[in-house]
Amino acid sequence: MKKYLKKIWNWIDDRTGITENIVPIMKHPVPPKATWAYVFGSAVLFCFILQVITGVALSLLYQPSSKDAYQSLVFITDKAKFGNVLRGIHYFGASAMIILVGIHMMRVYITASYKFPREMNWISGVILLLCTIFMGFTGQLLRWDSNGVWSSVVAAEQLGRTPIIGKYLARLLLGGDTIGGQSLSRFYSYHVFMVPAMIFIFIGIHLYLVIQNGISEPPKAGRLVEPKKYRAWYKNLLKEKGVPFWPNAAWRDVMFSSIVIICIICLAVIFGPPALSGKPDPSVLTTTPKPDWYMVPFFALFALMPHNIESISMLLGPILTVVILFSIPFISNKGERSPLKRPWAVYGVICVTVFVISLLVIGLKAPWSPHFNTKPLPLTAIKSANPDSTIIQGVHLFYSKGCNYCHKINNYGGIDGPDLTTIGNRLSIQELKVRIVNGGKNMPAYGGILTKEDMNNIVAFLKSQN
């Protein structure tokens, strides 16, 4: 039997050239001491494979039509055997992919692996990064719940700010004048066919380049990259100290990727996929659109940016980011690679990381959003022990006029404006009136909205908060 199998294998091997062509690639020499810092790229690759497989599995259950997609999502989540876990894996897989792409890119930047001769590795990597972000965004739309619908509207509005062609870009994104039957078909095509095809192509190029130029050796302070001598030096390094990629270096990749994938599956089983946010009905307005976490930093940026530079940032921000990313290997492709000798590079990475994480943290809190579901302030929560009728009226008005949505009193209410629990100590009656009448940058001027009596009641209530 064994002899027979061996014969079959020999025939296959002879006709396909596996031993001749593939094995040498697997065993190609790599620089020694390429340790755990080098596992992130392969982990992204394995996450992508996981995404492809779970994506194909989801497509067996999904209806890519504006009319039925939501119902099929409900079916996958609630009825299909393990459908919930499948969605969960696809969601956490996407999250892991975005995090790991980020880490991989930071590692490459900090150790300056993009320098000669690996400039094209970096460029193909940037294209893959952009594709990954686009996949994250369109994937969230395919859920086709109210969040999916409104996220596509928000995206159309952003494209719409582009000078001259904005309206056409928005129309192209939505597939027409408004959200409709054609919208989801287009997002589906982008998410399932077009962008994955690009990712396959660019992963092919990226991996080919890794073989072509070799894995960058771990940097050493003082050992400079000299384009004229580098290739010969690298060849010599591999000849003298190189170790075979399989299995000497690859075991770490396999182990790390396996742990990542097991973690993704565990998270999917424990937490499940993100809940559906309601029917994709654009005429239901009592919904609070919220993007998936990896889009939250952008979402936060639009709330916090000075409003008068917003349009221009929406246009120039992405263009500049892409231009800078593409130009990094051309700004400096030789010299020092060690992070110890490139403190500004490390500092830059830390700054960008802190910036993005801060935006994420504040975006998840979204203090600028009115808390529409805040409960009316009960009389037990106010300072005044024996409130008279004006104060009681003031308490009711504080809720019904929307003050409560943005101002907190004794843990009731939103957090956009200042906490007013002890406002009576800080402002006089006259000062209170001035603020309420005139409003501010993030507060409406209530002068034209409140009657004199309403105003007096609210002020009486606020003054009693001392």
Partner 1 sequence: MNEESQKDEITRRDFFLKVSLGLAGIGAMAAAIPIVSALIAPLLEKQNQQWRTVGKLADFQTGTTNLVTFINADPKPYAGVTAKSAAWLRRTDQNDFIAFAANCTHLGCPVRWEKDAHLFMCPCHGGVYYENGNVAAGPPPKPLTRYEVRVYNNEVQLKTAPLPITSINASKNA
Binding to partner 1 (CB under 8 A) within 116-155 occurs at: 149-150, 153-154
Window of 100-108, 295-303, 335-343, 419-427 that interacts with partner 1 by CB under 8 A: 295-303
Picking from 166, 203, 181, 193, the residue whose alpha carbon sits closest to that of residue 59 is 193
CA dihedral over 458, 459, 462, 466, signed as positive or negative:
negative
Window of 40-48, 59-67, 86-94, 328-336 that interacts with partner 1 by CB under 8 A: 59-67
CB 105 within 8 A of CB 129: yes
Nearest distance in Å: CB 462, partner 1 = 16
Window of 36-44, 111-119, 196-204, 367-375 that interacts with partner 1 by CB under 8 A: 367-375
Under the criterion CB under 8 A, does residue 182 sit at the interface with partner 1? Answer: yes
Under the criterion CB under 8 A, does residue 180 sit at the interface with partner 1? Answer: yes
Residue among 212 and 400 whose Cβ is closer to partner 1:
400
Q: Which of residues 413-442 bind partner 1 (CB under 8 A)?
A: 416, 439-442
Residues 143, 141: Cα–Cα separation, whole Å: 5
Among 8, 21, 177, 240, binds partner 1 (CB under 8 A): 177
Residue among 51 and 152 whose Cβ is closer to partner 1:
152
Nearest distance in Å: CB 208, partner 1 = 25
Window of 135-143, 267-275, 364-372, 385-393 that interacts with partner 1 by CB under 8 A: 364-372
Binding mask 243-282 for partner 1 (x = CB under 8 A): ------------------------------------xxxx
Residue among 218 and 402 whose Cβ is closer to partner 1:
402
Q: Which of residues 370-409 bind partner 1 (CB under 8 A)?
A: 370, 372, 400-402, 405-406
Q: Which of residues 26-45 bind partner 1 (CB under 8 A)?
A: none
Q: Which of residues 204-243 bind partner 1 (CB under 8 A)?
A: none
Q: Which of residues 77-116 bind partner 1 (CB under 8 A)?
A: none
Window of 134-142, 232-240, 310-318, 381-389 that interacts with partner 1 by CB under 8 A: 310-318
Under the criterion CB under 8 A, does residue 168 sit at the interface with partner 1? Answer: yes
> Which residues have C-beta within 8 Å of that of residue 297, sequence separation ≥ 6?
356, 359, 360, 363
Residue among 255 and 284 whose Cβ is closer to partner 1:
284
